[in-house]
Amino acid sequence: MKNVVILGSTGSIGTSALKVVGDLRDRLRVVGLAAGSNISRLLEQARQYQPRAVCVRDTRAAADLATALGADCQVFSGEEGLIRLATLPDAHIVLVAIVGTTGLRPALEAIRAGKDLALASKEILVMAGEIVMREARAHGVRVLAVDSEHSAIFQCLDGKPISSVRKLWLTASGGPFRDARLWPKWRFREITLQDALQHPSWVMGRKITIDSATLFNKGLEMIEARWLFDIPIDQVEVLIHPQSVVHSMVEFVDGSWLAQLSTPDMCLPIQYALTYPERVPSARVQTDFVKLGTLTFEAPDTERFPALELARRAGRIGGTLPAVLNAANEVAVAAFAEGRLSFAEIPERVRRTMDAHRVIDHPSLEQILEADAWARRVALDI
């Protein structure tokens, strides 16, 4: 039996993870759940899965939750509560599915406590990949990808040395604005929030769905892959694949390619991470290639979607620049969602913030968090 803590249990990844736990109750047991402000859903989850501890953002909400759950379940709050949850003595693996930077310290403390990490929060490796992977090596724990793309690459590599790899190929659906005939660049200023939330392949949270529309999501994944697989970012490429069936590919030095394919469903990479190194039977994901018919690929349009080149620049330079990229994008996406910024202006705000930053090489965690805070202030000023 593997004991699981889920940080971000009420979001799309967290709810999918609980479906996996429900499917595999003979193998997986939830010992901790954390949510932000969706107290009613967390209460429902806690009653169904009976964790030993839960955590919420607000202390007053925590008090109400403690009353509702009774003495059998500890209730924590805030960042300190997330750390308590991530370091529970009987936890084996911690799934981090918190949007933004909130999961960074809990993830590091989980590693230092000897817990394997299942990462769905891109920001953790984008901001602090050097520190996180160094700590994981030092404490002998695994950092397992939950993103479908990185899970696919991990499965294709299957222990092969990175020296055998020519390139990693991350696939992207292209988002709702892939077709340049329907959405030429000049129309990007007309894009509404509702337009941007119409993802063609996946059902996800608002922030990640907007990032998929700008392709910033794929840019962040490039940096994430650079750290997960210890490979220079210039060996990480992006390919548009509208059907979202080929989740990613590895091109080897001899010219061979390996790909991982399945119908889009986040339960599959989540299950693989939580049950690794086993492959456990599941009837949840069914793939019918006759019905799918055709799989197509095309190069990304970096003129209409400059996010990819901004991310490559941040990944090449490294240091605090990826944290600045991530923070500026979060601010810009929030401004777009609130109607204060056009869709077309999102990458421009990120670029201007990056241009204004003085990079610190090999930063400490404190310097990374300072760069994050600085970028948020500058992006707001811009």
pLDDT of 193-216, one tens digit each?
Answer: 898 888 766 666 788 889 999 999
Q: What is the pLDDT of residue 54?
A: 95
Over residues 59-71, mean pLDDT: 88
Hey, is 177 helix, strand or coil? coil
| Burial class of residue 179 in the structure, from the number of CB atoms within 10 Å of its CB (0-12 exposed, 13-18 middle, 19+ buried) | exposed
Residue pLDDT, tens place only, 212-241: 999 999 999 999 999 999 999 999 999 999
Give the pLDDT confidence score for residue 138 in this predicted structure.
97
Give residue-wise pLDDT tens across range 20-47.
999 999 999 999 999 988 899 999 999 9
CA angle at residue 214 from 209 to 219, to 5 degrees? 95
Q: What is the pLDDT of residues 231-280, one digit of tens each?
A: 999 999 999 999 999 999 999 999 999 999 998 899 999 999 999 999 99
CA distance 306 to 216: 9
Average pLDDT over residues 143-155: 94
Per-residue pLDDT at 37: 86
Query: For residue 298, what is the DSSP state?
Result: B
pLDDT band at 129 (very low <50, low <70, confident <90, very high): very high
Over its C-alpha atoms, the chain yields an Rg (Å, rounded) of 20
Domains, the chain, with CATH or none? 2-145 (3.40.50.720), 150-317 (no CATH)
For 325-373, write each residue's pLDDT tens digit. Answer: 999 999 999 999 999 999 999 999 999 999 999 999 999 999 999 999 9
